[in-house]
């Protein structure tokens, strides 16, 4: 299997675990891998009560190079902010609170107990964006 396919499979596996964990916490999963255009995608869109939650899932085999959330850098936060604004525009800007969460998944497919860590309200909307 080539590295890109392996990375995609690992990402799908991690996203599946994250969605299952969030559903178990009472979140309503609205969509996974929500594609907004050729470059913007939201890993998981969910509701936590009345709050709309945009979830970035970061899956890593180990923490040897840092925690998975440390890979959600400024560029990634900017892209996620852009995607969230496009998502809100698509659903006609309802009067809703929203936030950005990160779910870290550490482990490999087939391992008995991957580690999941849910970071609520991990970052704010990039300041260049606004919601009417």
Domain assignment of residue 45, yes or no: yes
Residue 56 in contact with residue 101, Cβ under 8 Å? yes
| 111 domain residue, yes or no | yes
What mean pLDDT comes out for the span 74-90? 94
Note the helical H segments in the chain.
3-24, 74-90
Q: What is the pLDDT of residues 19-30, one digit of tens each?
A: 999 999 999 999
Residue from 68, 58, 66, 56 nearest 123 by CA:
56
- Residue 42 belongs to domain with CATH number: 3.40.1350.10
Domain count, the chain: 1
Please report where in the chains the tokens 């999941």 appear, as a residue.
116
Q: List pLDDT tens digits, range 31-65.
A: 999 998 888 999 999 999 999 999 999 999 888 88
Assign 59 to helix, strand or coil. Answer: strand
74 in a domain, yes or no?
yes
Q: Which residues constitute the domain of residue 62?
A: 3-123
Q: Domain for residue 130, yes or no?
A: no
């Amino acid at each position: 299997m080539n590295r890109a396919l392996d990375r995609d499979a690992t990402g799908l596996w991690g996203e599946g675990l994250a969605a299952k964990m969030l559903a178990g916490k009472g979140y309503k999963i609205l969509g996974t891998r929500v594609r907004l255009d050729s470059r913007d995608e939201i890993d998981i869109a969910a509701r936590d009560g009345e709050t709309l939650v945009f979830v970035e899932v970061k899956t890593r085999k180990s923490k040897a190079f840092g925690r998975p959330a440390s890979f959600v850098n400024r560029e990634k936060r900017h892209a996620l902010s852009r995607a969230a604004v496009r998502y809100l525009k698509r659903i006609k800007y309802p009067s809703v609170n929203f936030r950005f969460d990160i779910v870290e998944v550490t482990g490999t497919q087939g391992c008995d107990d991957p580690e999941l860590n849910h970071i609520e309200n991990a970052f704010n909307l990039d300041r260049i964006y606004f919601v009417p």
